[in-house]
């Protein structure tokens, strides 16, 4: 069942989104060679708690940390650890926060020091595919119009979209209906309606779209061990333009 949010609920989700975005910014400021992902996890958790919110990921189905930290060929759900980041790495940070009973969820991929032009291109393609999908995140379109826009854009840049993991509805639960794939034919699935809140999250691979899960049961890797990038925002469908809830300032 798709839960439509009231104006008041969207205001609460907007604050959850600001907190999530602020935690991402705080992490980004510390991303550099020599820093551990465990340190970044601690930093994000402290930021979220300081702003009267709760980390959404910690304890979720047993996940042990407050952020997902996925380095290089890791696609999503990387568990923070004590291995220092190295010059030339890329790292995808996914953060969620509950505020007054409502969740927001966002992800970014950051460069670690100087990275290759190919890695920078991948990061840009993931981000821009999200913004391409915003053109279809409006009344009159369907969920799969968002999906199709992401896939078409990513493949036009020479990359592939992950099909095993998808975006989702979000609200009082981190994962609600509907699913929001990053691939598919247009014109299918539920129609977009005011009050729908969606976590749209392109996961973009340098090579094959095939992935595998490590023995830890969480960490998702590209099957060919080429790079992967992740970009996500929580958005709200309105009568007019879509609202991006997980930015510190509206754009």
- Asked whether the predicted pLDDT for residue 225 surpasses 90, the reply is yes
- Write out pLDDT tens, residues 87-96: 999 999 999 9
Residues 6+ positions from 246 with CB-CB distance below 8 Å: 17, 18, 20, 21, 24, 104, 105, 106, 232, 233, 234
Rounded to two decimals, what is the model's pTM?
0.96
**pLDDT digits 0-9 by tens, 27-40:** 999 999 999 999 99
Report, as an integer, the average pLDDT of 128-135: 98
What pLDDT was estimated at residue 249?
A: 60
Taking 70 as the threshold, does the pLDDT of residue 164 lie above it? yes
Q: Select from 80, 70, 143 the least CA-distant residue to 108.
A: 70
- Ordered domains of the chain (ranges, CATH): 7-240 (3.90.230.10)
Flag whether pLDDT at 18 surpasses 80. Answer: yes
pLDDT at 3: 97
Q: What is the pLDDT of residue 251?
A: 35
Say which residue the tokens 């550099």 belong to: 32
Mean pLDDT of the chain: 97
Contacts of residue 11, defined as CB under 8 A and 6 or more positions apart, other chains included, come to none
- The residue-averaged pLDDT of 131-137 equals 98
- DSSP letter at 83 equals P
Residue 63 confidence (pLDDT):
98
Residue 217 has pLDDT above 90, yes or no: yes
Q: What is the pLDDT of residue 248?
A: 77
């Amino acid at each position: 069942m798709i839960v439509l949010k009231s104006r008041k609920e969207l205001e609460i989700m907007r604050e959850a989104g600001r907190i999530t975005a602020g935690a991402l910014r705080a992490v980004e400021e510390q991303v550099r060679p020599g820093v551990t992902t465990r340190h970044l996890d601690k930093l994000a958790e402290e930021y979220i708690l300081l702003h009267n919110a709760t980390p959404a990921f910690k304890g979720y189905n047993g996940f042990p940390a407050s952020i997902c930290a996925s380095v290089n060929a890791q696609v999503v759900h990387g568990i923070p650890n004590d291995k220092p980041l190295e010059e030339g790495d890329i790292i995808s940070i996914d953060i969620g926060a509950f505020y007054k009973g409502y969740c927001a969820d966002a992800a970014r991929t950051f460069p670690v020091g100087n990275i290759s032009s190919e890695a920078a291109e991948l990061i840009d393609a993931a981000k821009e595919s999200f913004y391409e999908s915003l053109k279809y995140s409006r009344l009159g379109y369907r969920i799969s119009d968002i999906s199709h826009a992401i896939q078409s854009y990513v493949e036009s840049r020479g990359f592939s979209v992950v099909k095993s993991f998808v975006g989702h509805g979000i609200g009082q639960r981190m994962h609600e209906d509907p699913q929001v794939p990053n691939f598919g034919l247009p014109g299918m699935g539920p129609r977009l309606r005011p009050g729908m809140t969606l976590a749209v999250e392109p996961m973009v691979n340098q090579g094959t779209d095939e992935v595998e899960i490590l023995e830890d049961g969480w960490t998702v890797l590209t099957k060919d061990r080429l790079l992967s990038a992740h970009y996500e925002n929580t958005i709200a469908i309105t009568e007019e333009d879509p609202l991006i809830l997980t930015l510190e300032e509206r754009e």
